[in-house]
Structure 1
Amino acid sequence: MTWLDFFCHPLWVVSTALLAAVVRLQRRPRWDPRTCDVRLTGKTAIVTGANTGIGKFIALDFARRGARVILACRSETRGTAALHEIRAKTGNLDVHLRLVDLSCMDSVREFAGRILKEEKALHILVNNAGVSGLPKEITKDGFEASFATNHLGPFLLTNLLLDLMKSSSPSRIVTVSSVNHKKGEVDFSHFHGENLVYCMDQVYNHTKLHNIICTNELARRIKETGITANSVHPGVVMTEVLRHYPRWIRWSFNIIGFFFFKSPEEGAVSPIYCAVAEELEGVTGKYFHSDCSLVLPAPLARDAALAVKDFEVCERLTSKL
């Protein structure tokens, strides 16, 4: 029997489908956005990376709840397509596209400047955009490209919008991280592309650890302002995040994922929970799992002294630009 014969055998197909069904039942979140009647009428939300995957479904949910939604996207073509789709599906015409390249600090500053000029309030910021598997590349700002896109860009954006969020409080900041942060390490030379191993998702894992560390420190600093800041793992999701990986890896991921991984709509559930659930009012500096449960992140992510240092390093790096 060849491998092809094995994978096409009815017994294998049925067994795999049944196992996948069991896995899906076990990972069902304890919270369902479809049964949550929270309205966001009169609220303004920004979702980065909202043209595809998890980000698009987060934006779609906010639009259905009546929010003014700003899609923060790098591609105008894909962002415009998402804009039209969300408006058509929700009937909410108060959905808008604003372009930003999170890997470029000038672009982040320009985007934030436009938001501060045009928007009177900001109640929800979802830092969702992210990349994985990028080859080694240093941006014009001198940062490693994955670190710029996944961490330093969102870090700068969040800090530039803080005053607007304070004046709009209660407000929520939600940072989409990953359970992979547990495999990450903290080495500040990584920000400039030094001492990194470009193998599979190792660089991505480091950036996701920094996400949680700095979100926790931000939560501590803004505790009395009416803004909450939490990070969340969306689950293992079938998105385009692997588009920079070799074809054979993407093919394997898609085959396995068809049976066992979450759809982008399912992956959006835990970030939406952090952004709108009434029970999280005032909850800050926490990390949530993909089933919407509150869990402890890795020990490094709970190191208060490291958090202060990490935040200060990121402030220095981004303030120079």
Structure 2
Amino acid sequence: MPTFTENIGSHLGLLAEVLGNVLRLRNRCRSERRLDGHVVVITGANQGIGKETAYQLSFRGAKIIIGCRDEKRAENAIKDIKQRNPKADIYSLPLDLSSLQSVRQFVTEITKRETKVDILINNAGIACDTEQQTEDGFEMAFGTNHLGHYLLTLSVLPLLRNAPKARIITVSAGSHVFGKINFENINLRNGAINTKDAVSQSKLANVLFTRELARRLCRDTTVTAYSLHPGLVHTDFHRNLQSPALRTLFRLICQLFGLSIERGCQTSLYCALEEDLDNESGFYYDNCRRVDAMVSTATDDQSAQQLWQLSEELVRLEEHLKLPKHF
């Protein structure tokens, strides 16, 4: 768990973020890089910052593939994006990150259509405040936010390796600073779940996964990996909360202090476009810049390796997709 000093610093950091949002102190991605000929896969791009990211990257010439559970919402998102950018090259495929079978089918369909993927953006996320399970029996937030993206990333990796310089971007959150990976009770059973613990565990897992992924990729590929905090954004990320009071509270906070989705996607764009990032991997970004002062739980390589091994076992990762340790 974070130390007392780290906890105080984290709370002050969140307060500073809210103040920064109010004063509009967030940075923008300044890159003018084009992505003509690039293939970009984005999860959860039917709404919110994922949808805005898809639009922004389509405007730079990329072909966009949206992975979305609700096909009707995906169709509406594509329609909206094409209204804003009539030249957008974009299509959707069904993807339910809470189902390992759906993840595998999604990758199968991409492989039939594409010979490479240049950028994978693990954007989708869910928040839960009750004991909900995925199709495969995992705690919903951990299963969706981490395990689904873990399997997706490693399954898409062969296509990423076909690109000259590919990037894997995972949207985490500032709440990772409060997280702990509960290895003894990873699914938070027996009443152990609450919104803070479930979401912060899954978001810490995103950061540790990115860190370990970069370590395992570093010697044999030009694929790089980044995790990020988009900021406090006015979206419906908490729509799956069962408590009306909590939903109302989070909605009010986002309405009062949240960034617009256009502002909220800037760090995702930065990680996708900034050419200087070709020379670094495994780091965490916020406000369009790298964050080096991390809580100890987010830089714990032993936990990162343990989480990797556990995830590999839980998703029953195929042998040919496994990444060996190089250290």
Shorter chain as normaliser: what TM range? 0.7 to 0.9
State the match for 1:244 in structure 2: 240
- The 4+ residue runs of structure 1 with deviation greater than 4 A are 20-23
State the match for 2:56 in structure 1: 61
- State how 1:14-29 maps to structure 2 within 5 Å: 23-25=21-23, 27-29=25-27
State the match for 1:297 in structure 2: 294
Per-residue deviation, residues 39-93 of structure 1 (Å, max 9, x unmatched): 0000000010000011001111110101000011010010100011112211234
What is the distance in 1 between the residues matched to 2:210 and 2:71?
29
What is the distance in 1 between the residues matched to 2:185 and 2:170?
20
- Would the aligned equivalents of 2:98 and 2:135 in 1 still touch at CA under 8 Å? no
State the match for 2:269 in structure 1: 272
- State how 1:15-94 maps to structure 2 within 5 Å: 23-25=21-23, 27-29=25-27, 32-33=28-29, 35-94=30-89
Structure 1: tracts of 5 or more residues without a match: 1-19
What is the distance in 1 between the residues matched to 2:238 and 2:246?
8
What is the distance in 2 between the residues matched to 1:43 and 1:320?
27
What is the distance in 2 between the residues matched to 1:156 and 1:265?
29
**How many Å apart are 1:288 and its aligned residue?**
0.7
- Would the aligned equivalents of 1:226 and 1:282 in 2 still touch at CA under 8 Å? no
Helix, strand or coil at the partner of 2:279: coil
What is the distance in 1 between the residues matched to 2:314 and 2:192?
22
State the match for 1:170 in structure 2: 165
Sort the Cα spacing of 1:77 and 1:180 in 2 relative to 1 into closer, same or farther, 3 A. same
Helix, strand or coil at the partner of 1:305: helix
TM-score normalised by L of structure 2:
0.86
Sort the Cα spacing of 1:189 and 1:104 in 2 relative to 1 into closer, same or farther, 3 A. farther
**How many Å apart are 1:196 and its aligned residue?**
5.8
Sort the Cα spacing of 1:22 and 1:208 in 2 relative to 1 into closer, same or farther, 3 A. closer
Sort the Cα spacing of 1:305 and 1:195 in 2 relative to 1 into closer, same or farther, 3 A. farther
What is the distance in 1 between the residues matched to 2:115 and 2:276?
26
Structure 2: tracts of 5 or more residues without a match: 1-17, 319-327
Sort the Cα spacing of 1:27 and 1:116 in 2 relative to 1 into closer, same or farther, 3 A. same
What is the distance in 1 between the residues matched to 2:157 and 2:142?
21
Please say which structure displays the higher CA radius of gyration.
Answer: 1
What is the distance in 1 between the residues matched to 2:174 and 2:252?
21
State the match for 1:12 in structure 2: none
The one-letter code sitting in structure 2 at the alignment partner of 1:147 is F
- Would the aligned equivalents of 2:103 and 2:151 in 1 still touch at CA under 8 Å? yes
The one-letter code sitting in structure 2 at the alignment partner of 1:272 is L
- Out of 164, 186, 199, the position equivalent to 1:204 is 199
Sort the Cα spacing of 1:22 and 1:275 in 2 relative to 1 into closer, same or farther, 3 A. closer
- Would the aligned equivalents of 2:31 and 2:270 in 1 still touch at CA under 8 Å? no
RMSD (CA atoms) = 1.9
State the match for 1:283 in structure 2: 280
State the match for 1:107 in structure 2: 102
Per-residue deviation, residues 20-57 of structure 1 (Å, max 9, x unmatched): 8874336321xx24x43110000000010000011001
The one-letter code sitting in structure 2 at the alignment partner of 1:301 is A
Per-residue deviation, residues 139-195 of structure 1 (Å, max 9, x unmatched): 332211221111000000000011110111300000000111111111124444436
Are 2:152 and 1:144 equivalent residues in the alignment?
Answer: no
- Would the aligned equivalents of 2:175 and 2:200 in 1 still touch at CA under 8 Å? yes
Count of aligned pairs between the two proteins: 299
Helix, strand or coil at the partner of 1:70: strand
Helix, strand or coil at the partner of 2:215: helix
Helix, strand or coil at the partner of 1:194: coil
Helix, strand or coil at the partner of 2:315: helix
**How many Å apart are 1:296 and its aligned residue?**
3.2
Greater CA deviation, 232-241 or 251-260? 251-260
TM-score normalised by L of structure 1:
0.87
